[in-house]
Amino acid sequence: MNPQTIVKSSAPVGAPGRAAGPAGHRRSRSNRRAEVRLFSRLGHVALAVWAVIVIVPILWTFLAAFKNTTEIFSSPWTLPAELRWENFGRAWTKANVGRYFLNSVIVVGFGTFGTMLLGSMAAYVLARYKFWGNRFIYYLFVSGLAFPVFLALVPLFFVVKNLGLLDTHTGVVLVYIAYSLPFTIFFLAAFFKTLPSSVAEAGMIDGCSHTRLFFRVMLPMAKPGLISVAIFNIIGQWAQYQLPLVLLSNAKEKWVLTQGIADISVNAGYEADWSGLFAALTIAILPMIIVYAVFQRQIQSGLTSGAVK
Amino acid sequence: MRHGKYPFVVGFLAAPVTLYLVFVIAPYAQAFQISMTDWRGLSAPNWVGLDNFRRLLDDADFWKAVQHHGVLLLALPLITIVIALFFAFLLNVGGKSIGGQRQGVWGAKFYRVVFFFPQVLAVAIIAVLFQMVYRPNESGLINGVLMKIGLDPILFLINPNLALWSIIGVLVWQAVGFYVVLFSAGMASIPGEIYEAAEMDGATRVTLFFRVTLPLLWDTLQVAWVYLGIAAFDAFAIVAVLSVDGGGPDGATTVLAMEIYRNAFVYSKYGYASAMGVALFFLTITFAALTLRLTKRESVEY
């Protein structure tokens, strides 16, 4: 939208019309201009309305987080009379949002790290080494993309229970890793295939071991792909609700943020602590806005990468 | 060939394959097995063959859930894709033509960033957010306004005729931005000369959209439809958190995932819940196969 491009452009667009000259052409051009104006005006209204629909509920939550219950009921649309930071304190400690937040960070941190490590190792071997059973293992992983998690939910609960991992973060992390492998391997195997083999060969001639070659040469080369998948996994695992609900049901102190917030919303009804709930929601949403503002481009491409492939 | 290849291959595959077999493949295989038993968790399971599936056929809640998946399956992709296509078109080719390059409308970048944001939030968090938005009294975002201006509150989640649509609304709210970005990427790869040529021939914006953009975007649309369809078969988090008593009022919003969860972890009917899981699996597979089959057509090369 800078003036330079507009100046540059006016010549080629205007030229053919003027050169052709006939009145019919000119009229259709002005018609078209009117059409453009109407279309873009309507379009602007639609876009602005949708932006409001997206922003307002979130902004309204942030404002309500500073109000007290009376204000929430009497004047839901006004600014808070004063900034009641104690709402956040109550949500953070009494409602355990701080605990839930930390749990989410731990589970997603280990979960994504494990997924990336194991997923890239398997994807690399499956993409670049010929051995008996390679295709079978690859399709075994990829077929996991087609199965709904809910099909496995009951047996999964008992598998985790029999391993003594029920109500532990270890259990959740291992399950997250296992269920993130299909997409991670599917995506990364395609990525490793595109890397040039000349570098790998040079490494082998220099006496590099397979393991060293992978960690020192191939992984750094695959960085763009790794970042996309890592973002995909972080956001997916952060949003998980059904798996922790089943796997951590009896250990409230181990709950993750999604579980915790959903639980607080149930209890807010009994305790009539609406401002505490709004504060808890704000604590859950605000960090995502900050992370999104910083990594907006990477997040968009990371999340859509699955669909583009 | 290469020295020490096999120990390396085995070493790299051992951990991921083990984890995957234990936590993914084994449970899936067992699900089919358990679905043929009357297992309730305490005594040893008895083999009952297809009894659970026969009972499913008479289960009103099951059919309600299937029906809701039908509604979700049509409404969610249709509404989301129409809105997202419209916005993506505006943001990419809605504006003036500059230097032969079609431009998006003013502020396109800002809109794209804002629209996409809900995608980053967890569905469970969004569900709690919309509980507040939909609240039936003056503390709700929408009803607070309606009641201020003297209208009756809308009982979004309590009215059984409205509840499912209120939930679909939230799903659309979250999904649109993702598909705007996805379609934008598709539209960006359509060469500008095609639009230019069409405009020379006097094509209007509407013609451009239907005759140029849409056919060239077909593959992306197909992907979007499959994705949204798969989302329509899940919907657990949103229904479990947002709806009145998990799938209510009176089963008006229940989905299969909700029924599976309830049967397994509330009633301990593990065999029956697994049978529902198997039914859900076949529904999903059928949908994916049908979509790919029905939407298959010559893709346009450009």
**For position A219, which CATH number holds?**
1.10.3720.10
Categorize the per-residue pLDDT at B175 as very low, low, confident or very high, splitting at 50, 70 and 90.
very high
Question: What is the predicted pLDDT for the residue at B140?
Answer: 80
**Arithmetic mean of pLDDT over chain A:** 81
Distance from the B299 Cα atom to the nearest Cα atom in chain A, whole angstroms: 16
- Rounded Cα–Cα distance for residues B56 and B260 (Å): 12
Rounded to 10 degrees, the C-alpha dihedral B18/B24/B27/B30 comes to -80
Kindly state whether residue A230 falls inside one of the protein's structural domains.
yes
Residues spanned by the domain of A144:
96-308
Q: What is the pLDDT of residue B101?
A: 55
Which of A58, A151, A307 is facing B277, going by the closest CB pair?
Answer: A151
Mean pLDDT for A232-253 is 89
Using one digit for the tens of pLDDT, what is the confidence trace for B121-150? 999 889 989 988 888 877 788 888 888 888
Q: Count Cβ neighbours within 10 Å for each residue of B195-230 and write b for 16 or more, e otherwise.
A: bbebbeeebebeebbeebbeebbeebbbbbbbbbbb
Looking at the domain assignment, is residue A108 inside a domain? yes
Please list every residue in chain B whose beta carbon sits closer than 8 Å to the beta carbon of residue A290: none
CA distance A165 to A132: 34
**Chain B residues touching A174 at Cβ < 8 A:** 19, 23
Mutual orientation of helices B26-34 and A149-162 as an angle, nearest 10°? Answer: 100
Kindly state the average pLDDT of the residues B280-300. 77
Q: Tell me the average pLDDT across A152-175.
A: 91
Examine the pLDDT at B220 and tell me if it is beyond 80.
yes
First to last CA, chain B: 43
3-state secondary structure of B97: strand
Give the closest-approach CA distance of A37 to chain B in angstroms: 9
Measured between beta carbons, the chain A residues lying within 8 angstroms of B281 are 147-148, 151
Q: Could you please report the per-residue DSSP string of A177-215?
A: HHHHHHHHHHHHHHHHHHS-HHHHHHHHHTT--HHHIII
Query: Is A11 a domain residue?
Result: no
Mean pLDDT along residues A121-129: 91
Taking contacts as CB-CB distances below 8 angstroms, the residues of chain A near B224 are: 307
Strands (E), chain B: 97-98, 101-102
Contact B12 A76 (CB under 8 A): no
Tell me what the mean pLDDT of segment A55-75 comes to: 83
Q: Confidence class of residue A36 from pLDDT cuts 50, 70 and 90?
A: low
Asked if B141 and A76 come within 8 Å (Cβ–Cβ), the reply is yes
Alpha-carbon dihedral B141, B144, B146, B150, rounded to 10 degrees: 180
**How confident is the model over A289-296, as a mean pLDDT?**
86
Query: Mean per-residue pLDDT for B21-35?
Result: 90
- Residues of chain B neighbouring A3 (CB-CB closer than 8 A): none
Mean pLDDT confidence for A9-30: 44
Spacing of C-alpha B35 from chain mean position? 26
Give the separation between CA A167 and CA A128, rounded to whole angstroms: 39
Domain-embedded: residue A17: no
Interface test with B, best of A26, A38, A52, A150 (most B CBs within 10 A): A150
Nearest CA in chain B to A207: B3
Q: How far apart are CA A179 and CA A160, in angstroms?
A: 14
B141-149: list long-range contacts, CB under 8 Å, 24+ apart.
Answer: B141/A56, B141/A57, B141/A60, B141/A76, B144/A76, B144/A77, B145/A77, B148/A77
CA A10/CA B61 separation, integer angstroms: 64
Decide if B22 and A177 are in contact by the 8 Å CB cutoff.
no
Q: What does the alpha-carbon distance between residue B67 and residue B61 come to, in Å, rounded to a whole number?
A: 10
Q: How many CB atoms lie within 10 A of CB A18?
A: 9
Distance from CA of A43 to the nearest CA of B (A): 6
**Residues in chain A within 8 Å Cβ distance of B121:** 239, 285, 288
Distance CA A67, CA A85 (A): 9
* Average pLDDT for B176-193: 86
Record the tokens describing residue A25, joined without a space.
């052409």
Q: Within a 13 Å sphere around the CA of A20, how many CA atoms are in the beta-carbon half? A: 14
Contacts of residue B28 in chain A, CB cutoff 8 Å?
A: 147, 151-152, 155
First-last CA distance in chain A? 31
Q: How far is B178 from chain A (nearest CA, A)?
A: 7
Please name which of A61, A73, A58 lies closest in space to residue A277, comparing C-alpha atoms: A61
Q: Compute CA B239 distance to the chain's CA centroid, rounded to the nearest angstrom.
A: 13
Three-class secondary structure of residue A61 per DSSP: helix
Answer yes or no: is A114 within a domain: yes
CB contact at 8 A, B275 and B283: no
| Separation in Å, CA of B56 to nearest CA in chain A | 15
Count CB-CB contacts under 10 A for residue A183: 22
Residue A150 lies in a domain: yes
CA dihedral A47, A53, A56, A58 (to 10 degrees): -110
Gap between the Cα atoms of B277 and B261, Å rounded: 10
* Residues of chain B above pLDDT 90, percent: 18
Nearest to A300 among B103, B114, B181 (CB): B181
A207 Cβ contact list (under 8 Å, min separation 6): none
Confidence check: pLDDT of B113 > 90: no
Give percent above pLDDT 70 in chain A: 85
Say how far apart CA B271 and CA B44 lie, in whole Å.
Answer: 12
B-chain residue closest to A286, CA distance: B121
In chain A, residues with a C-beta closer than 8 Å to the C-beta of B277 are: 148, 150-154
Rounded Cα–Cα distance for residues A151 and B281 (Å): 7
- Of the two residues B94 and A235, the one the predictor is more confident about is A235
d(CA B21, CA A143): 12
Q: Where does B53-294 sit in CATH, by number?
A: 1.10.3720.10
Is A61 part of the contact surface with chain B (CB cutoff 8 Å)? Answer: yes
Under the banding of pLDDT at 50, 70 and 90, the label for residue A51 is very high
Cβ atoms of residues B92 and B191 within 8 Å: no
Q: Which of B122, B144, B176 sits opposite A238 (nearest CB)?
A: B122
Q: With cut-offs at 50, 70 and 90, classify the pLDDT of residue A29.
A: low
Closest partner CB to B23 (pick from A159, A204, A285):
A159
Residue A42 lies in a domain: no
Determine contact: A257 vs chain B, CB below 8 A. Answer: yes
Of the ranges A35-39, A169-173, B145-149, the best mean pLDDT one: A169-173
Neighbours of B248 (CB within 10 A): 17
pLDDT of A28 > 80? The answer is no
The minimal CB distance from B125 to the residues A16, A150, A285 is found for: A285
ipTM field: 0.86
Which residues of chain A make contact with B144, given a CB cutoff of 8 A?
Answer: 76-77
How many domains does one find in chain A? 1
Burial of A221 (0-12, 13-18, 19+ CB in 10 A): middle
At residue B300, the pLDDT reads: 54
- Is the predicted pLDDT of residue A21 greater than 50, yes or no? no
Span B183-205, average pLDDT: 80
What tokens appear for A266 in the block?
């149930």
Interface residue A40 vs chain B (CB under 8 A): yes
Distance CA(A288)–CA(B120), nearest Å, equals 7
Note whether residue A47 is domain-resident: no
Query: Is cis: bond before B249, omega within 30 of 0?
Result: yes
Of B12, B105, B173, the CB nearest to A43: B105
Task: For residue A29, give Cα distances in angstroms to A8, A9, A13, A21.
Answer: 20, 17, 11, 11
Is the Cβ–Cβ distance between A172 and A243 less than 8 Å?
yes
**Whether residue A143 has pLDDT greater than 80:** yes
Greatest mean pLDDT range, A107-116, A218-227, B93-102, B253-262: A107-116
Put simply, the answer to whether B265 touches A257 (Cβ < 8 Å) is no
**Would you call A121 an interface residue with chain B, using a CB distance cutoff of 8 Å?**
yes
Contact: B274, A154; criterion CB under 8 Å: yes
Annotate A66-130 with DSSP letters as a single string: TS-HHHHHH-TTSPPSS--THHHHIIIIIT-HHHHHHHHHHHHHHHHHHHHHHHHHHHHHHHH--
Residue A32, pLDDT > 70, answer no
- The residue that leads in pLDDT, A231 or A33, is A231
pLDDT of the residue at B299: 52
At B64-86, the pLDDT tens digits run: 899 999 999 999 999 999 999 98
- Cβ distance B141 to A235 less than 8 Å, yes or no, reads no
